[in-house]
Chain A
Amino acid sequence: MIRLALGTLRTHRAACAGTFFAAVLAVALLCGAGLLLASVLTAAPPADRFAAADAVVSGAREVTVTSSKHKKKDKTKTKTKTERLTGAGTLPAGLADRLRTVPGVTSVVADTAAPVRIATPDGRAVLGADDAPVVAHGWASAAVTPFTLRSGHAPGPGEVVLDADLAARAGDTLVLTSRTGVRTVRVAGVAAPAGRDALPAQGALFLADADVAAVTGLAGPTAVAVSGSGFTLPADAGTVLTGDEKVRADLPGALPDYIAPISIFGFVIGLTGFAAVFVLTGTVTLGVRQRLRELALLRTAGATPGQLRRLLGLESLLLAGLAALAGAPLGIPFAALVAARFRALGAVPAQFEVRVNVLVVLGAVLVGLLVAYTGARLAGRRAVRIAPTQALAETAVAPSGGVLTRVLAALVTTAGAVAVLTFVPLGGPLGMGMSFVATALLLCTVAALGPLAVRPLTAVVSRVLGAGGATGRLAAMITRAESRRVAAVAVPLVLMFALNAVMLLNGALLTDLATAEQAARTSPATGRAPGGMPLAEARRVATAPGVTGAAITLPTRAIVVRDGKPEDYAAQGLLTLGAEPVLDLAVTSGSLAGDGTFAASAYLADGYGWHVGDTVPVWLADGTEVPLRLAAVYDRARGFGDLVLPAELVAAHDAVGLTGPVWLWGGGASLSGAVVSSDADQQGAWELMVVVSLGFTAIAVVNTFAMAAAGRRREFADLRLAGATAGQLHRLAAREALITVAVGLLLGALVTGVVTGVFSVAQDGTLRLFADARTYLTMLGTVGGLGLLAGVLPTRFAVRSR
């Protein structure tokens, strides 16, 4: 059997080369995406700032909610869910002194860490390596790493010591901005950890211990580092971390954030996995179809359908196995390349590195083998029952039928897509991901229907595009007769168009809407002061003479609980001053009020079932739980946040605590400069994903066209015998490609229209089928042009004018 399988692989080079190529790419893509996800999931913090300590007591770094549900028969189900904080909780101020008295403890350092902004006196911001945030500590904290002085002296009042990396970019004096105010400080010295200039992912700034509380505004340390031997810390001290765990006591902002990359790479693997499996299945199926005649010959020679099935399975395993040998190693540089681009875009931390995980590579190989095998068995399902007499015929025709299976499969996937589009609120954070899932399901519908969907379309399209000339008429007749072949080639085109168009159009729509909402939100304002100020400073700007209205925003994040699960949302601290309203959030019920209240976006209020007047517990950035009364529900949350909290409350509980733009009315202020979208990173990551998926699907399209053309040598030879010139064959191929591409694009536009249409309605109730006309036309042109080229070129090679 193996010999037979190898033999047929050798004789069917064209079909096999196509399948092999698709399998190589699919395995490489799966392997690469898998490695990215695995690397980000297992990413360890790059360095431990508490390396010199034996144990660290940490303040709150996450919110834990325990909920219990009563089930029938007195059973209670208790579940505990946590959500990470974006800020850091503090410990009691007296804790360090208490721990010093514990037997065995030799030294205790109260570590107070808070993010600050520093700039040179001429206003140039100074950031850590790779734009890492700058974190302020007391000089005592230098011992926990340890940082040692390279030059200068320990900081006195009004002085700072910088790590060697920051010092290289800063001068002798710095402007230090924290939530408590703006100070000019003198650089007294330079310190560094052993063997390097700075810790990765965070710049270190040391204050005089006496200045710490005033600068950071923190009442207690964020962590307490303990050294000694054989000590047992009291149980009520807090969370005690030792060994590799110690690093978790550091500021969340000072550790590379792998939460966003996990969702990005999760999406990457979903996308590439789907495209790879989809393309590989299609290619394997096409490869099997091109060999019907040979299968019939084997039947004549006495092979049973079961033997043919085994043969097909074995062949596909051999082919995919070989492909995996080439594809899996390719996945590693692919992953490294994508990671490098993401790093450059800032979508993943600068410290992120792809680590080769043998299990992931093997997994990708296994998936490749499984998909090829399943594809071959599925394609062979009916083909192997081919009648032996077909071998005697000129060409073999696959046994028809299977319409019921196709329709059933299509119904299931369509139902899935409808369910996703109907029941998932696409307007929320799941919108993008779910619109992709719906697209994938609809693509499966198109693939399952295959010729059934293509035939009626071809009937119409071929009459229009086949008009004029003998070759046109011939192309029309051939495409009508060969709906299976048209389907095989058109489906990758549908995939290429729909998948990428949905991503691009929905992405563009979100950006447009965010920009429009931003403009609408701030349309009453006549001026804007730049952000990055402490609240007190912003208040001074807002109450300057002539300013009759102002809105100070303070970006932060807050956590609320639904069904026992804490969820983190973008939020704004808001302080409005003066009589003129300058911020229009489009409040739909209630009205914005001050202390003790909050406002929620309509999306959040709907999802959580809140009504104006409800009191809801809200967890702030440092983990403090505050009960707040819902005072208003508003619409314009895009690019702003889903929660609006009192600004003072945010400033008190978020150690970053600096304002966003301050919107003003009057006072001669002018609106200058555009607000830079905070989603710029995400948008870049998004575009990179489209590039990857566009590249892969484009290769799939070219590959399928080439395979289809290679399988037609005999047909072309017959046409030559019937009197066709080489030129006529080229024109015929071009016309057939035109019809096929048109059919593919029509189906693709249908899928895209459904998904983007529903997505658009979910966003703001407006139906847009072409969301962004220019993107749409560019996609049509790109996919169509590529399809035409891919349809014409292989025939040029196969049929040369001699």
Chain B
Amino acid sequence: MTTIVELVAVSKHYPGGPTALDSVSVAFAAGTFTAVMGPSGSGKSTLLHCAAALDRPDGGRVLLAGQDLAGLREPRLTEVRRRRVGFVFQQYNLMDSLSVWHNVLLPQRLAGVRPDRGWAREVLRRVGLADRADERPARLSGGQRQRVALARALAGRPEVIFADEPTGALDLASGREVLALLREAVDDLGTTVVMVTHDPAAAGWADRVVFLADGRIVAELAAPTAELVAAHMTAVSAR
């Protein structure tokens, strides 16, 4: 199995704060769904930001599809991110001044490539929003907006989708829809998904769970279920 994202001894400090990441090494295999869990302040969001090249580590290396990101400068970094990575955030981060359709096409337009309209229509259909393409995001529900964000991530055929608490702001039913779509992306499209969550039920959709505490990886779990994850979390939190 090939590794698509690899962190080698990555450290990150924030001025005036505790060590966010303490020499973390972890690899994510292509076509897998990994959940990153941990208590608040464990460094899970930092791990995601470093892995996705949104933030620069203070030490260690980040390899995205074999390419070392440390040597890249903006805007090359943005280009790599744009080509290989898709994002889904808790706060959707859609452009309110653009319609759903234009939001979905936005990253490709910014990348200067001819948007694959057929594929964009297909992903919108997959997320169940084919008929809302001309709406403004502000007029959609939270679940619908998160599905637009997912469609936008998928439209660029990324190798990896990084999701930061994608269900954090959603009700249970909407959250399940989004998780099912992420699972589908892995199973049907072979995308790699790395998802930060604090919800054991959400982690239960993953192939593998990585537990973080105080900036270190403290446990791993393959083939997780919600119950197993919850038990591990209790153990991690109690350390």
Given contacts A477-B98, A478-B97, A478-B98, A725 and B138 within 8 Å (CB-CB): no
User: Does B75 contact A719, Cβ atoms closer than 8 Å?
Assistant: no
Scan A438-472; emit 1 where CB is below 8 A from any B CB, else 0: 00000000000000000000000000000000110
Selected interface stretch from A168-176, A392-400, A789-797: A392-400
A394-B138, A470-B112 known; A482 vs B95 contact (CB < 8 Å): no
A474 at the interface (CB under 8 A from B): yes
B94 near A725 with CB under 8 A, answer no
The CA of A392 and the CA of B95, in the complex, are separated in Å by 16
Return chain A residues, CB-CB under 8 Å to B87: 721-722
A802 near B74 with CB under 8 A, answer yes
Say which size band chain A's interface belongs to. Answer: 20 to 34
B175 contacts the other chain (CB 8 A): no
Tell me if A473 counts as interface (CB < 8 A to partner B).
yes
**Interface size on B (CB < 8 Å)?**
31
A715 on the B face (CB < 8 A): yes
Interface digits, B13-38 against A, CB 8 Å rule (1 contact, 0 not)? 00000000000000000000000000
Closest B residue to A723 by beta carbon equals B82
- Taking CB as reference atom, which chain A residue is nearest B112? A470
Q: Mark A708-736, 1 if CB is under 8 A from B, else 0.
A: 00000001011111111111100000000
In the complex, what distance in Å separates the CA atom of A719 from the CA atom of B109?
A: 12
Residue of B at shortest CB range from A801?
B74
Q: Tell whether, in the assembled complex, residue B145 and residue A724 are in contact, meaning their CB atoms are under 8 Å apart.
A: no
Is the pair A394, B145 in contact by a Cβ cutoff of 8 Å?
Answer: yes
B97 x A394 contact (CB < 8 A): no
Q: A726 near B82 (CB under 8 angstroms)?
A: no
Cβ of B96 < 8 Å from any Cβ of A? yes
Chain A residues with CB under 8 Å of B110's CB are 470-471, 474, 719, 722-725, 728
Interface residue? B211 (CB, 8 A): no
Given contacts A397-B138, A470-B112, A474-B106, whether A722 and B79 have CB atoms under 8 Å apart is no
Most buried by A among B54, B87, B98, B136: B98
Tell me whether B97 and A482 are in contact (CB under 8 A). yes
The reply to whether A394 and B74 contact each other, CB–CB distance below 8 Å, is: no
- Among B87, B107, B109, find the residue whose CB has the most chain A CB atoms closer than 10 A: B109
Q: Are A718 and B74 in contact (CB under 8 A)?
A: no
Q: Is the CB–CB distance between A722 and B95 below 8 Å?
A: yes
Instruction: Verify if B91 is at the interface (C-beta below 8 Å from A).
Output: yes
Scan residues 78-135 of chain B and give those whose CB is less than 8 A from a CB of chain A: 78-79, 81-82, 87, 89, 91-98, 102, 106-107, 109-112
- Chain A CB within 8 A of B166 CB: no
A727–B75 CA distance with the chains assembled, in angstroms: 8
Is residue B216 within 8 Å, beta carbon to beta carbon, of the partner chain?
A: no
B137 at the interface (CB under 8 A from A): yes
Determine if A214 is an interface residue (Cβ-Cβ < 8 Å). no
**B109, B142, B156: the one within 8 Å of A473 (CB):** B109
Cα separation A728 to B97 with both chains bound (whole Å): 17
- Is A675 at the interface (CB under 8 A from chain B)? no
Residue A259 CB within 8 A of the other chain: no
Q: Which residues of A contact B138 (CB under 8 A)?
A: 393-395, 397
State whether the Cβ of B183 lies closer than 8 Å to any Cβ in chain A: no
Q: Which residues of B contact A801 (CB under 8 A)?
A: 74-75
A93 interface residue (CB < 8 Å to B) = no
Q: Kindly state whether residue A481 has any CB partner on chain B within 8 Å.
A: yes
Complex contact B112–A724 (CB within 8 A): no
In the complex, the answer to whether B98 meets A481 with C-beta atoms within 8 Å is: yes
Contact A722 B75 (CB under 8 A): no
Is the CB–CB distance between A718 and B93 below 8 Å?
Answer: yes
Q: How far is the CA of A326 from the CA of B212 in the complex (A)?
A: 54
Contact A721 to B89, CB < 8 A, known contacts A470-B112, A481-B97: yes
Q: Please give the distance in Å from B114's CB to the nearest CB on chain A.
A: 10
Q: Does B152 contact A (CB under 8 A)?
A: yes
For chain A, residues 476 to 533, give those with C-beta under 8 angstroms from any C-beta of chain B: 477-478, 481-482
Please name the residue on chain A nearest to B93 by beta carbon.
A718
Q: In the assembly, what is the distance between CA of A473 and CA of B75, in Å? A: 21
Docked-complex contact B107 and A394, CB < 8 angstroms = no
Closest Cβ of chain B: how far from A393's Cβ, in Å? 6
Kindly identify which residue among A392, A478, A717, A724 contacts B78, using a CB–CB cutoff of 8 Å: A724
Closest-CB distance, A213 to chain B (whole angstroms): 85
Q: Quick one: which of B78, B102, B112 has the most chain A CB within 10 A?
A: B78
Q: How far apart are B39's CB and chain A's nearest CB, in angstroms?
A: 25
Query: Within the complex, which residue of B78, B89, B98 is in contact with A725, where a contact is CB–CB below 8 Å?
Result: B78
Please determine whether B145 and A726 come into contact, CB atoms closer than 8 angstroms.
no
Does A723 lie within 8 Å of B78, measured CB to CB? Answer: yes
CB atoms of B97 and A477 under 8 A apart: yes
B74:A721 contact, CB within 8 angstroms: no
**Which B residue's beta carbon lies closest to that of A397?**
B138
Q: Smallest Cβ distance from B118 to chain A, in angstroms?
A: 19
Q: Is the CB of B97 within 8 A of A470?
A: no
Give bound CA distance, A478 to B102, whole Å.
11
What 1/0 mask marks residues of chain A from 380 to 397 whose CB sits below 8 Å from any chain B CB? 000000000000111101
Given contacts A477-B102, A481-B98, contact A394 B91 (CB under 8 A): yes
CA distance A478 to B87 in the complex (A): 22
Nearest A residue to B97, CB-CB? A481
A470-B111, A723-B107 known; 8 new pairs, CB 8 Å cut-off, are A397-B138, A470-B112, A477-B102, A717-B93, A721-B93, A722-B106, A724-B110, A725-B78
Q: Which residues of B contact A (CB under 8 A)?
A: 54, 74-75, 78-79, 81-82, 87, 89, 91-98, 102, 106-107, 109-112, 136-138, 142, 145, 152, 156
Which 3 residue pairs spanning A and B have beta carbons closest together? A725-B75, A723-B82, A481-B97
Listed by A's residue number, 11 A-B pairs whose Cβ atoms lie within 8 Å are: A394-B93, A397-B138, A474-B109, A477-B98, A477-B102, A481-B97, A721-B89, A722-B87, A723-B78, A723-B107, A727-B75
